[in-house]
Chain A
Amino acid sequence: MIGRVWFLWVVVGLWALAGCSASANSGASASAGPIQVSNAWMRPAVGMEEAQPDAMATPVGASAALMASAANDVAYMTLRNTGQTPDRLVGARSEAANAVELHIEEQKGDMMQMRPVDGIAVPAYGEVKLEPGGFHLMLIGLKRDLKVGDKVTIKIQFERAGEVEIQAEVRAQ
């Protein structure tokens, strides 16, 4: 009888452990040191064309021609710094795109514009939101179509906290 109960507890314990690790993997937030990243999302988008005659016909390194047929998407998220030292997001990469860049979008009067930025500061004990109308990660040259519900792994690089692997969820809007 005691043996049986003991066995049951082990099963429950293992199940709980499995549940924990699974939720840590698929959860909406990730962290490294004092940096927490949450609510990462993207919009549906189409990837590059399977056949790229333009790219084939162009010498290697002619990135403009490669990009001519490229597709892009944008990732948004919240960066939180629970530490007492300011940090900076300085780069990103993803298996889903040829390049990932840090950009800012701005409205000047009636004009909409987008520019690359060197880094995005995350103040001590503060947070910064990458959101429509402001900072974003630009995924350039999507390697596949992104549909609602898909998850995209992006590794984002902080000056101090190092690299954080996040999962951005593709949402309708």
Chain B
Amino acid sequence: MVSILRKSRTEFSPAGPASLPAGPVDPGYMMRVEDLGIRYDLRLTRKTTIRGTFRNLTKISRDDRSFWALRNVSFEVAHGESLAIIGPNGAGKSTLLQVMAGILTPSEGRIEVVGHISTLLTLGAGFDVELSGRDNILLAGAFMGIDAREMRERLPGIIEFADIGQFIDAQIRTYSSGMRARLGFSIATAVDPDVLIIDEVLGTGDAVFRVKSQRRVMELAKAAKGIVMVTHDLNWAEEFCNRAMLLEKGRIIAEGSPAEVVALHRERSDRARLERDAEIARQVAAATA
């Protein structure tokens, strides 16, 4: 059961002052998020052009607005836990996963991840559509830093699990979105991650694949891996996960058993909808009066 560590897995970005002893240890969790905050600088992150910059220079607009997409987020993911993160659009779920994956650097706070993390966040979105499925598997492996020889060994397993027939040798542009998701899921889970994070789980997978992937997720969870998934499919969260977290406007609202958190989320979004409806009704009434 000892996970084999590859060279690529042990290369870390140099971190700041360490509070944990360096070297391999088992701190008793798969991931710990501590007082995490992410700030987007809206001035910096807007897509710009040279033309646009000149235009802005002439307009003396000093909008140095920035906003916190996440603030004061702390939680742990234990061995064998699969955590569902739910919440309305724009709550900061995808942002949170990006920080976990090391793609975004926190503006404050920190994250500790034990072992190797597999991050194909939005399944299949990163595929090169002009290449075949097979080439994309190998390319995805190379992006994740997995040794080419090992990736070729895993190739048959990935293809078999994705189960998309002879399309595996066709360009990804010919795939349906469900087929892309299948392939993405197969890759993300086949690389034997210690921590698996997935965004928008299988929104388009069909019933057969859903059962199959459910089994795969359960297996990973049983092998004491940590799983974090973001989903809008509340049934999925209840079925698949043994813990759930509700995120709203970048803050944790609730954390606990999936059933309870999902119920709370339903209740809160219903209330939000009612309030919105009431507001619209008021405006309509005001307009017609």
Tell me if chain B binds chain A. no
A-to-B contact residues, CB < 8 Å: none
B-to-A contact residues, CB < 8 Å: none
